[in-house]
Amino acid sequence: MAVAVIFLDQLTKAIALSSLQSYQRVPVLGDWLGWYLTFNDSAAFSLGFGATWFFTIVSTLAVLALIWFTPRMQTVSWAISSGLLLGGVTGNLIDRLTKSPGFPNGQVVDFIQIPLNFPIFNVADIFISGMMVWVVIRVFRGEKIGKPISKKPVSS
């Protein structure tokens, strides 16, 4: 799962870099969806502006932790969720390690724009945010991360 997300993320970023001009909106579905190539040196939702080196360290630690924990997940659904998250984090980490201005301060390529002044994002961000929301929902439902749902005894 992670390899598929990384491939899709890096492919779409390469297409965006080769076909879009920076900071010029290209409408796709009117005002609802557009391409807008920009470069991000912060975290999700533009948090931590200018601290790219810090996010490089945090992303590296997250990737290492996910590589360690994903094979140890006790259910297929948790392993898939973990793999999708791993792919998203790795996709943006690749940018931080390889894009301008250079290691470890590379800027993440963002190009998907939706209305309402929502931050511009990329495919990796979709998987990171989506999987984190999914994990929170599952935990609030009573599931333990990586473990099957425990069967509660039926009362008479």
Give the tens place of pLDDT for each residue, 115-143.
877 889 999 999 999 999 999 999 999 99
Tell me whether residue 152 is in a domain.
no
Tell me whether residue 87 is in a domain.
yes
User: Which positions ≥6 away from 36 have C-beta within 8 Å?
Assistant: 20, 23, 24, 25, 26, 110, 111, 112, 113, 120
Active site residues: 110, 125
Tell me whether residue 117 is in a domain.
yes
CB 107 within 8 A of CB 101: yes
Give the tens place of pLDDT for each residue, 22-73.
999 999 999 899 999 999 886 665 565 667 888 889 999 999 999 999 988 9
Tell me whether residue 145 is in a domain.
no
Tell me whether residue 41 is in a domain.
yes
Tell me whether residue 26 is in a domain.
yes
Tell me whether residue 20 is in a domain.
yes
Q: Name the domain count of the chain.
A: 1
Q: Which domain holds residue 56?
A: 2-140
Tell me whether residue 119 is in a domain.
yes
